[in-house]
A and B are shown apart, each in its own frame.
Chain A
Amino acid sequence: MSLASLAYVREAPEPEEAPPILSSGALAWARANLFSSIGSSFVTIGCVALIAYLLPQLAAWATTRAIWSASDGAVCRQHQDGACWAFVITKWDYLRFGSYPAAERWRVNVAEAIGAALIIWLLWINAPRRVWAAFLFFVVYPILALILLRGSSWFGLPIVDTQLWGGIFVSLLTAVVGIVFSLPLGVLLALGRRSPLPAIRLASVLFIEFVRGVPFITILFMANNLLPLFVPETWTPDRLLRPLAGIVIFSAAYMAEEVRGGLQSLGRGQYEAAMALGLSYARMTALVVLPQALSLVIPGIVNNFIGLFMDTTLISVVGATDFLEAMNNAIKDPIWAGPTIMVTGYVFAGIFYFVFCFGMARYSAHIERVLAKGRK
Chain B
Amino acid sequence: MTSVDLLTRRSWLRRSALMATGMSLSGWLGRLAARAADDPRRKRSCILLWMAGGPSQLDTFDLKPTHANGGPFKEIATAASGVKISEHFPQLARQMNRLAILRSMRTREGDHERATANLRTGYLPQEPIRFPSLGALVSNELADLDADLPGFVSVLSQGAFAQSAVAAGFLGPSHAPLVVAGSGETLKVEDLKPPSVSAQRSRERLELLHKMEANFLATRRGTATASHVTAYDRAVRLGREAAARAFDLSQEKDSLRDQYGRSLFGQGCLLARRLVERGVPFVEVTLGGWDTHDNNFEQVKSLSGVLDPAWATLIADLKDRGLLDSTLLVWMGEFGRTPGINPRNGRDHYPGAWSVVLGGGGIKGGQTIGRTSKDGSIVEERPVSAPDLMATICLALGLDPKKQNLSNVNRPIRLVDPAAEPIKEVLA
Q: Do A and B come from one complex?
A: no
